[in-house]
Amino acid sequence: MKAVSLKIGGVPEHFNLPWRLAIEQGLFASQEIALTWQDFPGGTGAMTKALRAQEIDLAVVLTEGIVADIIRGNAAKILKVYVKSPLTWGIYAHHTSSIQQLSQISHSRYAISRFGSGSHLMAYVHALQQGWPPEQLTFVPLKDLQQMREGLAAGEADVFLWEKVTTQPYVANGELRLIGECITPWPCFLLVVRTEVWEQYPATIQQIATLINHFCQNFQQQPSISHRIAERYKLDIEEVNPWLQQTVWATDNQLSISMLENVVSTLASLQIVQAPVDIQDLIVHFPENNLIFEA
């Protein structure tokens, strides 16, 4: 039997080590699934673009970014939650900046990777949490974390948001100043599939979900896993250990309808999408043994 060849995309960050190890260890290949990984340093905005262009078949993407893009017409569906715990975003200024605290950034220029990315949408969510008018924010698209850092150093932008553990080395070396945090009010990562791919290979896609669920069940118990994460992603072990303890990978295919309704209502309140939205149109409908539930 010929293996089904599929490509999955994700950010080159520690959250996705289960996928990388599962592929490297032949977990999918043993089931006649030729699954290959593609890194997207540009984040969710770059992946939604790749999904639209049919350059990848599946993606591990930030919840708010993919929900917004599916509503805007991306022909993809949410398969399952990948990471159930929220994401902690750090809010950063350059070390030479006069910005010292959150109260100084309500009218700042935000560096973002792309419009529609997590760094873009979470700046809006943070403004909403702070009670700032979102329309007063301005954005400077700078492709990826490296160019965003360079943009702050060059004075092209004032602040940016990025996942905290990934960005910690640049705080430790004195390049960036951490001025605050923003925690997502929902699970941070979803697994999505192009609608065409789901329709063509439903059994294979379900098998991929089952295999990664089983792999994630024991991921945190693997010997020296925190050291492997720190070494592979060049992170401080003192940052990795608490992150590992608080991160929860999904080990089932359940989706919370109310969670997705919260995402949609937040995006609608920020005028990023237009309500109403039928949540059922956003998701893959598994057979009866894979539940979609409200919680």
Q: What percentage of residues in the chain have a pLDDT greater than 90? A: 87
* pLDDT tens per residue across span 91-106: 999 999 999 999 999 8
Ranking 20-29, 38-47, 281-290 by mean pLDDT, the lowest is: 281-290
Whether the Cβ atoms of residue 32 and residue 62 lie closer than 8 Å to each other: no
Confidence check: pLDDT of 293 > 70:
no
Whole-number pLDDT of residue 162: 96
Q: pLDDT digit string (tens) for 188-205?
A: 999 999 999 999 999 999
Give phi and psi for 217, each to the nearest 5.
-60, -35
**Residue 254: predicted pLDDT:** 87
Mean pLDDT value across residues 175-182: 96
User: What integer pLDDT is reported at residue 2 of this predicted model?
Assistant: 76
Give the model's pLDDT for residue 120. 94
Please state the rounded mean pLDDT for residues 60-68.
Answer: 96
- H/E stretch holding 149 reads helix 145-153
Instruction: Tell me how far CA of residue 218 lies from CA of 57, 164, 223, 238, 249, in angstroms.
Output: 26, 24, 10, 22, 10
Which domains occur in the chain, in start order? Answer: 4-86+187-293 (3.40.190.10), 88-183 (3.40.190.10)
Q: pLDDT: is 64 or 254 the higher one?
A: 64
Please tell me whether residue 111 adopts helix, strand or coil conformation: strand
Predicted pLDDT of residue 1: 59
Percent of the chain surpassing pLDDT 70: 97
Position 294 pLDDT exceeds 80: no
User: What's the pLDDT tens digit per position in 222-256?
Assistant: 999 999 999 999 999 999 999 999 999 999 998 99
The pLDDT of 115-137, averaged and rounded, is 91
| Confidence (pLDDT) at 257 | 92
pLDDT at 287: 65
Q: If pLDDT is split at 50, 70 and 90, which confidence band does 289 have?
A: very low
- Round the average pLDDT of the chain to a whole number and report it: 93
**How far, in Å, CA of 36 to CA of 205, rounded?**
14
Nearest Cα to 196, choosing from 282, 38, 75, 284?
Answer: 75
What is the structure's pLDDT at 295? 44
Q: 8 is written with which tokens?
A: 């999955």
Task: Kindly state the average pLDDT of the residues 56-83.
Answer: 96
* Distance (Å) of CA 114 to CA 136, 146, 165: 18, 13, 21
* pLDDT at residue 116 is higher than 90: no
Confidence of residue 292 (pLDDT cuts 50, 70, 90): low
Q: Name the band, by pLDDT with cuts 50, 70 and 90, for residue 291.
A: very low
